[in-house]
Amino acid sequence: MSMNQAEIAGLPSAPRQTIWQLRRRRFLKNKPAVIALGFLVVLAVLCGVAYPLGQFLGVDPATTNLLYRFQPPSTEHWLGTDELGRDVLLRLMYGGQVSLAVGILGTLLTAIIGITVGLWAGFVGGRIDAFLMRATDCVIALPMTPVLIVLGAVDLGKLGLAPAMANSPLVIFLRIVIIIALVDWTTIARLTRAETIAVRQKEYVKAAQVSGARRFYNMMVHVLPNITTPITVAMTLSVGRIILFESTLSFLGFGIVPPTPTWGNMLTNAQQLIISAPALAVYPGLLIFLTVMSVNFVGDGIRIAFDPRSKS
């Protein structure tokens, strides 16, 4: 039986807690962040049940019906129908699936590129570091929105992809994820590099090096696990940014293209409908706004909860 010193001495001991318990407690104290997280969970679940709900209501979101346009909300179409007679609610739910998926997948890819570049540059240093950082500077100097549009306009056929494949929904989806990751990795790369340089100097890393640890092993086992906190925070914040990029691109017609609904492309036609059906312009944008706002609040909450120096 093990007893610690405090118990032996009969002194009151502070409740023991792991770092994760502490972080969770600090996060839960942050009301806006908790509300935002709750909203995101509810939203994800709602978007997830789009298919069963469609079955239940007997409504197919892809069916157009020109005799049934701009219907007000009814028991069959809870939010009415759009300019082609399609169910607005179900399209919003399917659009949410796409937006959230792009946000999460895009962030993962962004993080993979960013962490690889940052870790490598920071740990190896020297010329490789200089080269990678100049490359990062180049990408940062790119005007974000215009370049995303050019990348969205790139003809995959010229890159040797068969036309049928280039226009398949899956490829279009993946290409959005990839092009956003291609311009958005710089923040995480710079952050990872700075953190890596700070950790590289630590004794345990040096000790491992002296004991003959390979460079890759050392990076993965001793450096990366110790810099996950700031990277996690940066990743959360980039989810919101990526959702905004995707919706902007889709709105302009260079992202996810109809008939696949996304919150962005549901607004493409809204500009012509602002007089006849202004509600159609409100819902998708409001959802983008609330989602991105929630993600940012959660990110801020994580930042405060994970930072031992910040006051709770």
Q: Which of 73, 143, 259, 308 binds another protein (CB under 8 A)?
A: 143
Q: Which of residues 78-117 bind another protein (CB under 8 A)?
A: none
- Residue 231 to residues 24, 216, 306, Cα–Cα distance (Å): 18, 19, 11
What are the structure tokens assigned to 144, written together?
Answer: 């974000």
Q: Which of 159, 164, 170, 210: binder of another protein (CB under 8 A)?
A: 159
E runs forming strands in 199-250: none
CA angle centred on 176, ends 171 and 179, rounded to 5° = 115
Which of 189, 300, 289, 278 is CA-nearest to residue 248?
289
Query: Quick one: tokens of 56?
Result: 């239940």
- Please say which residue, 154 or 194, places its beta carbon nearer to another protein: 154
253: left (phi over 0), alpha (psi -120 to 50) or beta: left
Binder among 83, 197, 293, 307 for another protein (CB under 8 A): 293
- Using CB under 8 A, pick the residue from 224, 256, 267, 305 that binds another protein: 267
Q: How far is the CB of 79 from another protein (least distance, A)?
A: 17
Q: Does 157 bind another protein (CB under 8 A)?
A: yes
**Cross-strand partners of 81:** 87
Strand partners, 87: 81
Quote the tokens at residue 227: 């810099």
Contact pattern for another protein over residues 226 through 265, marking x by CB under 8 A: --------------x---x--xx--xxxx---------x-
Of 12-20, 60-68, 114-122, 272-280, the segment contacting another protein by CB under 8 A is: 272-280
Binding site for another protein (CB under 8 A): 32, 134, 137-138, 140-147, 149-151, 153-155, 157-159, 240, 244, 247-248, 251-254, 264, 267, 270-271, 274-275, 278, 281-282, 284-286, 288-289, 292-293, 296-297, 300
